[in-house]
Amino acid sequence: MGMVKKPYQGVAIAECGEPLLPIPLEEFAIVDPHPYVAVGAPYGDKSPFYLREGIVERLRQAQVQLQQQRPGWRIQIFDAYRPVAVQQHMVDYSFAQECQARGLVAEELDEAQAEAVWQAVYQFWAVPSLDLTMPPPHSTGAAVDVTLVDETGNPVDMGSAIDELSELSFPQHFAEAEDEVGQAAHGMRSLLFTSMESAGFIGHPKEWWHFSFGDQIWAWQINLKENKDTANAAVMACYGYIE
């Protein structure tokens, strides 16, 4: 499958130069062992738990807001910074997993089958591009995948697993649910959304767990709400690719 350019990748980037720092993990819950590390993702001298300095501060603010509504609850960080090599590794891994889920053998796919699998993968995963004008969101240090844990440290049921390649991952999937389980999942997603939004984050339109501030997706969604086309958008990204 050829290069998949997503709408937000046309947003201009005016890099602010803010440093990439390790997240103070004692302040948040984390997923351990980290799922991408567990499948061999090559982080080099970094780890999944890095973010830009300003993003860490916003994450703190979001957790304060959460705890005003749910004392003792914490934001659980599933994933944050991703070098492009990790993005490539996980895209390839997800392709293989999706083939397996469909009962297909990756090496034996015809063109139509391969195209269908790649479309499923790229509906959720960003292209592992080295083009500095269109970095994968997580490679900017401005995007973070998060969920919630309760006061006992147990993960909260959000209705689907992080990285699930299905419509269950869409943030509003359970908005019209009539059953108690679906309604509860929507309530928890809304709680996460309002907590993150209070700190300036904007959620990904197709992933309930993905939030960012200052990257291309963030700027694109602001401009979209203001009916600004990407080429002449007033709001630019301030975080680009960082190593």
Nearest Cα to Cα of residue 85 among 143, 43, 133, 134: 43
Confirm whether 207 is a catalytic residue: yes
Tokens 């659980």 identify what position? 76
Question: Of residues 151, 207, 226, 243, which has the active-site annotation?
Answer: 207
Q: Within 13 A of 226's CA, how many CA atoms are on the CB side?
A: 13
Task: Give, rounded to a whole angstrom, the gap between the first and last alpha carbons of the chain.
Answer: 27
57: CB partners within 8 A, 6+ apart? none
With CA atoms as reference, report the closest residue to 86 among 123, 39, 53: 39
Q: Which residues are catalytic?
A: 207
